Amino acid sequence: MKLYGTPPTRALRAMWLLNEIGVDYEIVPVDIPNGEHRSAKFLALNPAGKAPVLVDGDIVLTESAAMQLYLAEKFPEAGFIPESLADRGQMHRWLYFLMTEIEAPLWRMALHEFIYEPAHRIPAEIPNAQRDCRAMLAVLEAHMTGRTYLVGDAVSVADFNAAFTLDWADEVGLMDDAPTLKAFVERMYARPKAPVRIKDAG
């Protein structure tokens, strides 16, 4: 397989599953600062012009959470998809929650802090996004109190997604009121196959 994108981007979400499962893969760097993601060659892979992209033979997959699910489903023997429908429902619930309720405000912060052209940045969006993110982190903090994993009693795709997304929240200083989530992130990154943490990715 080929994974377009390098740490500390969302490529880490796919790398985590690739490493845990033990898939042979090649990392293809995408030079985002110099606009390679807008080149015709890259847009042919992902018309959205965003990394990561996972290529598995004829299959070209965008969206980092979809890659995590794809890998876990392709290699069921890894055991990262819960067996019961009820637990799979919960796994999907938390994946959507992480991507829409936690990542979305994190991305809004980044857009208005340093990604948009200065003229398009709205300073008030930053505290708004911080407040939204903290409120949703509190929901996950309450859920994780007394739990080891997000769903049931085994690691699943939801945990790998959560660990990266919460590491990102930690990077921007939003985890002070979430000691249970902080401990969860530490546990996940202590796994032998965990990828590099955002802060160590340079």
Footprint of ligand GSH (CB under 6 A): 9-10, 32, 37, 49-52, 63-64
- Compute the half-sphere exposure of residue 168: CA atoms within 13 Å on the CB side of its CA: 27
- The distance of closest approach from Cβ of residue 60 to ligand GSH in the complex, given in angstroms and rounded to an integer, is 13
Q: Which is nearer to ligand GSH, 7 or 152 (CB)?
A: 7
- Closer residue to ligand GSH in complex, CB, 35/76: 35
In contact, 39 and 190? CB cutoff 8 Å = no
Instruction: Give the shortest CB-170-to-ligand GSH separation in angstroms.
Output: 17
User: Residue 87 or 113: which CB sits closer to ligand GSH?
Assistant: 113
In the complex with ligand GSH, the residue whose CB is nearer, 32 or 60, is 32
Residue among 1 and 180 whose Cβ is closer to ligand GSH: 1
Q: How far is the CB of 51 from ligand GSH (least distance, A)?
A: 4
> Which residue is listed with tokens 């969006």?
125
**Which H, E and C letters describe 53-85, residue by residue?**
EEEECCEEEECHHHHHHHHHHHCHHHCCCCCCH
Give the β-pairing of 53-56 and 2-4: antiparallel
Which run of H or E residues covers position 28?
Answer: strand 26-28
- Closest distance of CB 37 from ligand GSH, Å: 5
Distance of closest approach, residue 56 Cβ to ligand GSH, in angstroms: 16
Spatial distance between the Cα atoms of 46 and 133, rounded to a whole number of angstroms: 28
Please report, as a single letter, which amino acid is at residue 40.
Answer: A
Q: Least distance in Å: CB of 97 to ligand GSH?
A: 14
Alpha carbons 5 and 11: distance in angstroms, whole number: 5
CA 23 – CA 1 distance, rounded (Å): 8
Token pair of 17 as six digits: 């599953």
Report the residue number, 59 or 154, with the smaller CB distance to ligand GSH.
59
